[in-house]
Amino acid sequence: MDFWSWAFSDFRSNALRGVFAEYLVALALDAAEGTRVEWDAYDVSGPKGLRIEVKCAAYLQSWAQRGPSKLVFSGLSARKWTTESGFADVRTANADVYVFAIQTCTDHDRYDATDVDQWEFHVLPGNVIAELGTRSISHATLLRTSIGPVPWTGIAAAIAGAHADSGPSGHRKGERDV
């Protein structure tokens, strides 16, 4: 407990908050058994082998701030790595579904990362991320393109909807090439 308290008790830390967001998504999907694999190509294994990438942002940080942070999600694509061939030459979107977790609290005195009511979630199919062709996405773009915001209790349904909403052409159903 002393080590945990010393090293991992500040949920305003970007790295720890991100891992906690992954855990929240895994819990919502009833997929939190076992041990997290830190360097996998995606963060959570969902129902029927669905690959889920979790990205996290927050308004409050562990350092002194002049104002709330702008929400930007990065690392949307990566080079896959295998023991046989090493890193791939090209970056790709490596998940079927992306979940964007936002810790919404803007008051340091009320901040409680373990309170799921202080979180909102946005969901996008992986093929939409691939079509965007960028390594990061702003909060404004996320609001225009995602399913969400959804509360923690709605994550599983939003993920299922995003996966079902993804057509074979790589477009969301109803979209087409122009």
Burial class (CB in 10 A: 0-12, 13-18, 19+), 153: exposed
pTM, two decimals, is 0.86
pLDDT at 47: 87
- Per-residue pLDDT averaged across 120-131, rounded? 94
Answer yes or no: are the C-beta atoms of 14 and 35 closer than 8 Å: no
Q: CA 176 → CA 19, 97, 166, 170, 172, distances in Å?
A: 36, 20, 12, 9, 8
Q: CA 150 → CA 21, 41, 120, 175, distances in Å?
A: 14, 25, 6, 23
pLDDT band at 166; cut points 50, 70, 90: low
The tens digit of pLDDT for each residue in 43-91 reads 999 988 899 999 999 999 988 889 999 999 999 988 888 889 888 898 8
pLDDT band at 111; cut points 50, 70, 90: very high
Question: How does strand 97-103 pair with strand 51-58?
Answer: parallel
Nearest alpha carbon to residue 161 among 123, 120, 119: 123
Which of 94 and 155 is assigned the larger pLDDT? Answer: 155
Is it the case that residue 177 has pLDDT exceeding 60? Answer: no
Q: Is 171 left (phi over 0), alpha (psi -120 to 50) or beta?
A: beta
